[in-house]
Structure 1
Amino acid sequence: MTDIREYLAHKPLLFDGGMGTYYKAAPGVECELANLTDPEGVKRVHAEYLAAGAQAIKTNTFGLPRMAAAQMPGWEELAEAGWKLACDAAAEKDAAVFADLGPALDTEAAPASSAYGLAAQQFAALGAKNFLFETLSSDVGVVEAVKALRVAVPDAFIMVSFAVLPDGYTREGLLFRDLLHRMEGSGVVDAVGLNCVSAPGAMKKLVQGLGETRLPLSVMPNAGYPVVTRARVLYQGKPEYFAREMGQIAAAGVRILGGCCGTTPAHIAALRAELDALPRQTGAAPAAKLSTVAAPEVEKDDAFLRKLDKGEKVIAIELDSPRVADLSGYLDGARRLQAAGADLLTIADCPIAQARMDSSLVACRVHRELGMCALPHMTCRDRNLNATKALLLGLYAEGVREVLAITGDPIPTAERDEVKNVYQFNSRKLAQYIVSLAGEGREMPSPMTVFGALNLNARNFDVELRRAVEKLENGMAGFLTQPVLSAQAVENLRKARQTLGERAKILAGIMPVVSQRNAIFMENEINGIHVEEDIIQRFAGLDREQGEALGLEVSMQMAREALPYADGFYLMTPFNRVALMERLIARLRTELLDAEG
């Protein structure tokens, strides 16, 4: 075929459809292995798509990067066989062949860049000139691999395609527009696009909202959404509908089109007819521009954030939501803490994976009824991307402007058979996702402020600090720390301030110990808490009143030592003892914060 760049200057390039779903419509081995076990079957699928009108086909090697990363025996032979089968089929129609590379996992032991690089260089050695990195949910490792590929094949045509939900976000919470801009900015990618997950109608809306782009766009949707029938997954989108929607996408200026899961040769044939009926273009028309209707004014921050931004020391206090459906007592406690001088109420999200009233719903109620700033904790444990987004939009609409993003404790072992963890992303990716929801043309008029957790009691605090830096890079504004109950925790807080600088707001954790039994339990059974032995021994033999009194003294001592390195305090209420925390807030205000002011 003519050089891809020259071809695109004159007319759209039509790809094939979903090799995997079409080949596996009949019982058989996994798709990539068929390059060796059923070469004629693979070549026949290529031929059917070419006969339907495709001018470019993908090698049957979608899983190759993961195979290469795992050093699966024989992966190089699979690549070579897949390349030869596609080339043989394409030669009869003078069609282009793209080395197809699906997503790779990214781990410390096997970085994604290495997996992509191994697979891409294997194809480069076979003579490949065109490469497609597809169905990606992140761009981690892609640019590094492409830059290395450019050295081996300077004139390569390289496409990168992301799999996004109908709202434009990948399963890792990354917005396609941001990914596209990063690909454009890399200077080494020739085209960028969308494929898989969404149907053509959803992709059309995404394309219409992109505005002008510098790189050619590629769109390869699924043929509708999957329906599971017994052991089979079926896509019921009709070829005529697929072709009509894709024709409108082409008319908007998209020059590279094709299909993904569920798209058969019949879908490609219908799209071929639709494209042939379009007026001839000599250049890529810009995509439709997003509407810029002014959004109504909304409250973009709250009193807590304004105080924090002005450099005033703040007090946040955690009060666990109830285990029952009665919130009256909880609201009374929150009201008392507010009157005592707390600036913010934080609500844990089912701590230690035990069900309590939803932290976000409680935060909305507190904000609405008390006018108090609230910080719901949001874990990655219980919600997928859709549920998380729905909750965030509701929080914003209710005036809640900050959240604490944490990974979350796993479900206890005994309950895992019935209650499953989700963990679709970690706290860093969750923070990046939350921040990405705000901006022109996006879901939120202004960004929510995202805080994270900082474990001052981590055994390897240098690793914890590196993670904190990554959290800041992913959009977090600051941290709430684990309780300061040791000299080492104070020293680690000092190191955190030195490393993170003033850009990170740090609230030092203060949790009153109320008895020796309480101290021993925290030391031995609560992850992330360390109580020095001399503190534990000081509580020996004390009754409740004496224990609370000593707990206040220890808390004040820790607060004094932490204050030079903190922007305020994060108080944790033991056993919902609101009266104790009222006393602690009063002393913090009068003895430390007011005196400092």
Structure 2
Amino acid sequence: MKLKEKLGKKFVITTELGATEGVDVQTSINNARSYQPSLDGINIHDCPGGRLRINSISLAHIIQEETGFETIPHFTCRDRSLLGTQADLLGAHALGIRYLLATTGDAPKHGPYPSTAVYNYTSLDLIRLIKKMNRGVDYNEKPFKGQTCFCVAATARPAAKNLDAEVERVRQKVEAGADFIQTQPVFHVEKAIRFMERVKNFKIPVLMGIMPLKSLKLAEFMNKNVPGIYIPPEVLEALARSERAAVDIACKFISEVYSYVDGIHIMAMGDVETTNTLINYIRELIGE
């Protein structure tokens, strides 16, 4: 069953492909092939943190062709003019891409290059534009031959300090045409459930993001520096006792939130073994 057919009807599991260094796509292909076949989709980053990576659309196409997994390339507002965006969307469709995560994109200032961001439009504008092109018209409502066929994912931050503002942002994304949500990683059960209670009336499938924390140092860095991330003291204490507790912490979180969500989005930073462990745990948990 295709991801699009499962969304909102069956429990969905997606993950993210680890970084591809330079043009070494074979390593990425091998990693993708190693994922459990019950995985529903693989996200492909678009130069995260302003660092140089292979084009997300190109890599997504290669992964689909070589592995059969459906891919969800990240499509950012950061680097493209309005004209370039529409050209890339046409190209993505022609390459067989059917899912896109519409996102603002990390600012280049976080990366190593003296690059200037474009940001001609917001992620809300991008969602609206994709939906226009799905109707066979461009930004100016001028028809073009054929039409695109994208299922659009949007992001959310369940642990945002201002939950009211975050829920309003999700509402706007739903109204713009988002088809499903993939959240930032969440580590606090109550915050995850509170968020789901607030957005349930929007009738949009939500895949809750989880991240097995590799180390206490990483957890402390994220807690201090990443907006929308909150890692509770009990998680930090568990990691301080044993950094091998990462998978157990993730499994415990999943067991407490899975009945509230439409799926889980695993962010294991390319760790295939950990990802497969969590996929197997989730499938067993939901009885599949």
1:523, CA displacement in angstroms?
Answer: 1.1
Structure 2 equivalent of residue 525 of structure 1 = 225
Tell me: CA distance 1:532–1:468, structure 2 relative to 1, closer, same or farther (3 Å): same
1:313, CA displacement in angstroms?
Answer: 0.6
Match of 2:186 among 477, 484, 490: 484
Q: Is the 8 A contact 2:154 2:180 kept in 1?
A: yes
Structure 1 equivalent of residue 274 of structure 2 = 580
Structure 1 equivalent of residue 57 of structure 2 = 360
1:430-450 CA-partner distances (Å, limit 9, x unpaired): 000011012355454353111
* TM-score normalised by the chain length of structure 2: 0.91
Match of 2:104 among 403, 407, 415: 407
Cα distance between partner residues in 2 of 1:412 and 1:586? 39
Match of 2:248 among 553, 564, 567: 553
* TM-score normalised by the chain length of structure 1: 0.45
Structure 1 equivalent of residue 140 of structure 2 = none
Structure 2 equivalent of residue 315 of structure 1 = 13
- Give the 5 Å matches for 1:210-289: none
RMSD, aligned α-carbons: 1.9
Is 1:589 paired with 2:287? no
Structure 2 equivalent of residue 438 of structure 1 = 134
Is 1:369 paired with 2:95? no
How many residues end up aligned between the 2 structures? Answer: 282
Q: Is the 8 A contact 1:437 1:443 kept in 2?
A: no
1:491, CA displacement in angstroms?
Answer: 3.0
Is 1:494 paired with 2:196? yes
1:367, CA displacement in angstroms?
Answer: 1.0
- Give the 5 Å matches for 1:89-108: none
Q: Is the 8 A contact 1:346 1:374 kept in 2?
A: yes
1:518, CA displacement in angstroms?
Answer: 2.0
Cα distance between partner residues in 1 of 2:101 and 2:145? 19
Structure 2 equivalent of residue 515 of structure 1 = 215
Cα distance between partner residues in 2 of 1:475 and 1:443? 22
Residue identity opposite 2:258 in structure 1:
L
2:206 is paired with a residue whose SS is strand
Identify which of structures 1 and 2 has the higher relative contact order when contacts are C-alpha pairs closer than 8 Å and 6+ apart: 2
1:477-519 CA-partner distances (Å, limit 9, x unpaired): 121011120134223332344342x2x1100101111221221
Cα distance between partner residues in 1 of 2:85 and 2:240? 45
Is 1:328 paired with 2:26? yes
Structure 2 equivalent of residue 397 of structure 1 = 94
Give the gaps of 5 or more residues in structure 2. Answer: 137-142
2:182 is paired with a residue whose SS is strand
Cα distance between partner residues in 1 of 2:48 and 2:196? 27
Is 1:425 paired with 2:127? no
Structure 2 equivalent of residue 473 of structure 1 = 175
Tell me: CA distance 1:516–1:433, structure 2 relative to 1, closer, same or farther (3 Å): same
Is 1:347 paired with 2:49? no
Residue identity opposite 1:581 in structure 2:
T
Residue identity opposite 1:305 in structure 2:
K
Q: Is the 8 A contact 1:316 1:342 kept in 2?
A: yes
Q: Is the 8 A contact 2:153 2:182 kept in 1?
A: yes
Q: Is the 8 A contact 2:13 2:40 kept in 1?
A: yes
Identity in percent: 29
Give the gaps of 5 or more residues in structure 1. Answer: 1-301
